[in-house]
Structure 1
């Protein structure tokens, strides 16, 4: 039986990016408790870059351990802002507070991607994007959240850059795919090296 490419993520946008790139793959989301993995790392004072990479690695290894000989792609994204890290907002009020904090300021999105096989990490990569929000007030945030609804709770920044969320921004420095949570160009290059994608 041949090797299958597997995406260890339930993220709709990550699957869409791979599909649009012409890849054939299966989706098998990792069952890792991210907060449990994170807790000791945060206590140890690990930087967001390492945190994102370790989480992506945990997801890739989790799935690759139960799928022998398959090539498994794990990914994770962390938002870092003023010395704090942010995960997906729990509810609309958390999303509102978060977006108001970001108004007129710059935050970083750190996206890690890892390839594993048989529980072993073969390759890892981290990309960083810096995003500057334009100054906006509570009224705009209220209208924005009302228009997008619960979809705001599906991303770490409470925004979807690929849709209405773009209206929150003033400046973006970094790779579009990194912002969407999957550094696609380095991943494709490594998949070419692994013989999964044609050269």
Structure 2
């Protein structure tokens, strides 16, 4: 079987792969996302997700040329702007108020590299429509959400309490939580990581 590496420290991506019973190991990439975002400010949020995923995959692939390496990233776009994760949970109230009653987009970018060369990429966008929630709900949410306020760019974990923020979504569940699984499974079968 082909050695498969996840170039990510994301707990949710790890969980998705484990739940699908995909054999993999984790090697965190040494990639400075802030530098890439500054140098490539001309990119759209969707393009940025793919560029960041490629950078992670390539960095680990150069160190482990025998492996098929997956790099993944997700960006959030609100009102045409690329947003970053919040450095402090205290900022979540303003972020959530800005999102209230409006759609935003999550862009997923996946890249597979082997021996420092790109093998495959995938970009997928999901639209999430935040409901016009009350201030009372917002305060209750902020009190209960905990780690989710800074773990994701939208200050929510869609797979948990964060689902209560939305009235509807357009997109694949796995893409929304950060790892479009079905297209990945297809290419892993082609590349010999999984049986066909």
Q: Deviations over 1:65-90 (max 9, x none)?
A: 11121010000000001111112111
| Counterparts of 1:176 and 1:46, CA distance in 2 | 25
User: Are the aligned partners of 1:100 and 1:137 in contact in 2 as well (CA < 8 Å)?
Assistant: no
User: Are the aligned partners of 2:130 and 2:168 in contact in 1 as well (CA < 8 Å)?
Assistant: yes
Is 1:74 the counterpart of 2:71? The answer is yes
Is 1:108 the counterpart of 2:105? The answer is yes
| Counterparts of 1:127 and 1:83, CA distance in 2 | 17
- Following superposition of structure 1 onto structure 2, how do residues 6-85 of structure 1 map, counting pairs within 5 Å? 6-42=5-41, 45-85=42-82
User: Are the aligned partners of 1:107 and 1:132 in contact in 2 as well (CA < 8 Å)?
Assistant: yes
- The match for 1:182 is 179
Is 1:172 the counterpart of 2:174? The answer is no
Give, in angstroms, the shift of residue 39 of structure 1. Answer: 0.4
User: Are the aligned partners of 2:2 and 2:191 in contact in 1 as well (CA < 8 Å)?
Assistant: no
User: Are the aligned partners of 1:5 and 1:72 in contact in 2 as well (CA < 8 Å)?
Assistant: yes
| Counterparts of 2:73 and 2:55, CA distance in 1 | 10
Structure 1: state its 5+ residue gaps.
Answer: none
Give, in angstroms, the shift of residue 29 of structure 1. Answer: 1.1
Give, in angstroms, the shift of residue 191 of structure 1. Answer: 0.6
Give, in angstroms, the shift of residue 95 of structure 1. Answer: 1.5
Question: Structure 1 stretches (4+) deviating beyond 4 angstroms?
Answer: none
| Counterparts of 2:98 and 2:134, CA distance in 1 | 10
Deviates more, 1:130-139 or 1:16-25: 130-139
Give, in angstroms, the shift of residue 137 of structure 1. Answer: 3.3
| Counterparts of 1:186 and 1:57, CA distance in 2 | 16
| Counterparts of 1:197 and 1:76, CA distance in 2 | 23
Deviates more, 1:129-138 or 1:102-111: 129-138
Please, what TM-score do these two structures have when normalized by structure 1? 0.95
| Counterparts of 1:76 and 1:68, CA distance in 2 | 21
| Counterparts of 2:158 and 2:48, CA distance in 1 | 23
